[in-house]
Amino acid sequence: MAKDPEKPSYSSSHWRQWLNGLAVLFIIAFFWTLIKYMWSFVKIEKEPVKVLVTGAAGMLNLIFHLVFLGQIGYAIVPMIARGLMLGPDQPMILHLLDIEQAGEALDGVSMELIDSAFPLLKGVVHTTDVVEACKDVNIAIMVGGIPRKEGMERNTMLSKNVSIYKAQASALEQHAAADCKVLVVANPANTNALILKEFAPSIPVQNITCLTRLDHNRALSQIAEKIPNNVHVSDVKNVIIWGNHSSTQYPDLNHATATTISGVKPVRELVDSHWSKTEFITTVQQRGAAIIKARKASSALSAASAACDHIRDWVLGTPKGTWVSMGVYSDGSYGIPSGLMYSFPVTCEKGIWSIVQGLKIDEFSRAKMDATAKELIEEKAVAHSCLD
């Protein structure tokens, strides 16, 4: 039978269908690329986060009317405003609180923040009213407190500070955002945080922490300096600060590793064991005192930087395979009595910290961990007796 020339053959119609399909795919791909290109010009700015900093004026010596520039509050606010705490795309509003006598200095800090024209800083609230300061804050960095002066008994310093933290707990509980994350920096940091937790029962215990990251960073740096062949501090990870932010803390390098030219090695194989059980521990424990002796003022810059590290890792997460030290409410892990704010190794994900489990604890470490827990139990008892 002869072929009808008007009727397209099966293979040519199939070919045409195939071409049509290709054309549709091409059009979709073209528009998708165009949309993606146009989207890259659209910047969706995140909502500003409200960050409270107490003790923000950094008034060290009210008697001689001197403002010591460089105390923690003064050092930390530009770091936060530059995005070092919450990331380069997170705008914030800073709430600055200090006592009445520091009100004028606080005005000055606020003026300087405005003058710095930080792109991420969307507002500054500076006040000596704790309720106004705590209003709707999402993050609270509690630096304000009475530092221990020469001749002052530790218990006197403790009693003054726990009273401050009892009062500020209520203000935070009533006026901060429901998901507010709290970092207590002021000493005695662990016990202040514990009092804050006890007097703000509706703040989830997961949301109250204290700063031992400075000690953690000091431990990393001491190890990097000790290992020969140019190991940088960023090559060292997974040290642990156990316990109290005081001279009984236990800096532990038993689980730490360092990246060297011959690969990742346990730090224990790179430093001598005598050093790791003596000088390493005492240097980290006494570093704050050494800085006060040299600077005639406390370690403000490194404490401010450590507080930024603490919040950044808490909010944005710890890098995979890395833990950090944070003072958190003990759940009984590693045999540490529950009901203490104790520094543990933690990992953070999606704004939640978890204590690293299953680390092997030798006899030497056990004794050190228990000694610092014992000090915290004693501090807790003193704090309660002061508040009674």
Residues of this chain that bind ligand NAD (CB under 6 A) = 54-55, 57-60, 71-73, 97-99, 102, 143-147, 164, 185-187, 189, 211, 214, 245, 298-300, 303
Q: Whole-number minimum distance, CB 125 to ligand NAD, in Å?
A: 14
Rounded CA separation 191/186 (Å): 10
Query: By C-beta, is 90 or 127 nearer to ligand NAD?
Result: 127
Helix axes 154-175, 189-198, angle to 10 degrees: 40
CB 269 within 8 A of CB 260: no
Those residues with Cβ within 8 angstroms of residue 217's Cβ, 6 or more apart along the chain or in another chain: 302, 305, 306, 309
Q: Smallest distance from the beta carbon of 36 to ligand NAD, in angstroms?
A: 46
In this complex, which beta carbon is closest to ligand NAD, that of residue 158 or of residue 231?
158
Q: Rounded to an integer, what distance in angstroms lies between the CA atom of residue 245 and that of residue 188? A: 7
Identity of the residue, 109 or 236, whose beta carbon is nearer to ligand NAD in the bound complex = 109
- Token pair 């090559």 is found at 235
Q: CB of residue 372 vs ligand NAD: minimum separation in angstroms?
A: 14
Minimum CB distance to ligand NAD, residue 110 (Å): 14
Nearest residue to 56 via CA among 81, 83, 87, 91:
81
Minimum CB distance to ligand NAD smaller for 200 or for 231:
200
**274 in active site:** no
Of the pair 214, 267, the CB lying nearest ligand NAD is at: 214
Minimum distance from CB of 385 to ligand NAD (Å)?
21
State the Cα–Cα distance between residues 80 and 315, nearest whole angstrom.
14
Q: Is 248 helix (H, G, I), strand (E, B) or coil?
A: coil
Q: Are 152 and 63 in contact (CB under 8 A)?
A: no
Which one from 95, 126, 216, 245 is the annotated catalytic residue?
245
Q: Which of the residues are catalytic?
A: 245
